[in-house]
Structure 1
Amino acid sequence: MHSYLARQPVLNRDKATVGYELLFRDGPNNCFPDVGDEHATNRLLADNFFTSGAIEATGGKKAFVNFPYNSLIQRTPLMFPKKSFIIEILETCDPSDELLEAVIELKEKGYTLALDDFIPSAAWNRFLPHIHIIKFDIRTVPIAKARFFMRHHKDKVNKILFLAEKVETHDEFTEAYDAGFDLFQGFFFSQPEMMQRKTLTPCALTTLRLYKEITLPDVDFNTVESIIATDVSLSYKLLRHVNNMRYSQAKPISSFKQALVYLGEERLKRFVTFVATAHATEKKPQSLYSLSLQRAHFCERLSNLAATEIIGNQAFLTGLFSLLDSLLDQPIEDVITLLPLSKEVQKALVHQTGPLGSILKLIMAYDKAQWEDVSELSKQLGLHESDIADLYMESLKWASYFEKTATD
């Protein structure tokens, strides 16, 4: 059995990730196993909360989990630790007396409750004193309408937090932020801020120079060392984390050349890539760094199984650099011309064409739980959906490890 699971980040007003909504298939029309809401929720809980899966899927942060009506009436959440997830009451639930009793009991026992895809209605008013989070889908309830509701309830009822979901652009984030939302869900953080064309910062320039050197077929490590030496913070990070990777009590590595001898060229190339990416995201949401790493690993692993022959290292770079426009706040087509990447990688990043482009589109569809697109792209690439599900979870675990290693 496989857990068909994607996740979507939830960020606070400082753009720090506070949790992830876990997205199972949510209805009988999706391409994955033809099951109803109740069974889907039960599968997600069993697969991810009876084991360590949820920790891997959320990096130890809170999981937002959808609960249909019957699961709540049957008190299914009581089977699981209250600190591990937030109960999302689906918008399809009937605001009945029976549901209210369940909500009150769950709250009294310390569970955190959220109303999902909330549409203001008098029928839900009696639930509000027992709710911790209200989620507005800004595609359904305009931000202006949500603002009106928040102004009338923000300080009256139980200090409710308000979450704007399906926030996909920085303009939408700014509007929702100004309206008073506390939390934000969506992939707005992965979009570049280019209202006005920005010049590259010294940090971004250092990152770009490093990327350029380590993507060359024959790397000149003297040049790489000279670039790293211009940035004290970057030098410290690299040496510290190379030392963290060593298990012996030998004398610590104190120079880049020593690190090269210890790691070897290929491992060091990749490690410099991780640290450079972490360096570029210092003033960006941490989710951006995590997503970059996850895509890199996911892309590489999928390329090994695809029917079309793809070079794994090119797939890795395609995934990693798929967010380069957001890392550097520059149009992707401009940034790519500054890097010695193959035409296949460039086409994938700029136009999402070719086999690498198809894998990238598949990954982006999986991120957003667009299951029908995932199914179609899987067929095109000759991939089994069960393998994709397994590799997605593997990539989350892998990215979480390197996120910790390179940003501590």
Structure 2
Amino acid sequence: MQDYFIGRQPIVNTNKDIFAYELLYRDSLKNFVTVNDNRFATSQTIINLFERFGIENVIGDYLGFLNLSGDYILSETIELIPKEKFVIEILEGFSSVDKLITKVLQLKDKDYVFSLDDFVYKKSYHDFTPIINYIDYIKIDVRLADRVEIAKRMDILYKISDKLIAEKVETKEDFEFFKHLGFKYFQGYFFERPTILKTKDLEPNQVGVIKLLNLLNSYASIKKVKELFEAMPDITLRLIKFINSAAFGLKQKINSINQAINLIGYNRLKIWLLILTYADKQNIKKSPVFQTAVIRGKQLEILSENFKDIDKDSAFLVGILSLIDVVIQKPKEELFEQINIDELIKNAVLFKEGKIGTMLLALELDEKNDYLVLIETLSNLGISMETFVESKLKSYAWLQNLLKDI
């Protein structure tokens, strides 16, 4: 079991009654954190909120404000967040404001609610002019705000939004000043410091995640996907907890795997699995081990097309599993004792047996630049060097497209 944390700080109205909670990434009971990777922090916060704590337990009937990284807002994953329960906070510092603006307009058509965080009048107004009238809330840091400038601009600010939030309010004088200006909501130490919530949960089954992604990418039947879930109760529990959260706004609880898969659909299921993987610190884009494994998988899949008696999905899985010992820090033999893996796949990975195993050997020889043995191995398979090189180039191109989407 592992400890998980999430921070929350109330946003109050002029009567100091709770209006909403801002949710914060935390990795311990300390009331501060250094975030080096915004995408990881975003993913971890959402996983913790939806699964490990439950939305109702964290924010109840109140709204939740979520700080989301730029990548997260621009991705499909954003639509996993229930629009009825959350306000999406847009942070400064986007590398592509134009792409953000386009995405926000698309999401506004779907009734998503947005807030501009750390609003600085001149810069923020200039950067976000095309969407400024689509913003629902504006948060202004009272420690950084020029009070004279804000007072002069209140008419213009109210034209943008009448839902102004003064944040980092630390004194009664701060509260009274911005309340007098017409701010409706307030947040800061004057009312309450962030509260750190703590829970325990199981570590995700990394092997199961990889197997499920492979199965989904091969468009396997729901029956096959269901059977794989049934073999991994920890991941099944996570999925059902996730769907039973407020993310889907369901009035009835999910009570079967089949029902869950039908509801979430393959595309969202893949997104969920990728979030889960990323949230547990497997940085796909920066991991050479992961990239080598998926390149091996794709190249074996492509090479398997030369043989009528080889299942290309099995070939892909062999490539993924060929480096699994490095990823999970356990010997392959020990891992295969714990999972129900096909003997053909296991023997190909462990002993380079069969055609898939021989192709895997060829890939490893290529990585070691052992070309004399490589040519002989390919000759025994009836595969030309030209075909081998072409499959390698195609697998690299496939990886680059994959990394663009995750």
Instruction: Give the TM bin, normalised by the shorter chain.
Output: 0.3 to 0.5
Normalized against structure 2, the TM-score is what? 0.43
Structure 1 or 2, whichever has the larger Rg, is 2
Normalized against structure 1, the TM-score is what? 0.43
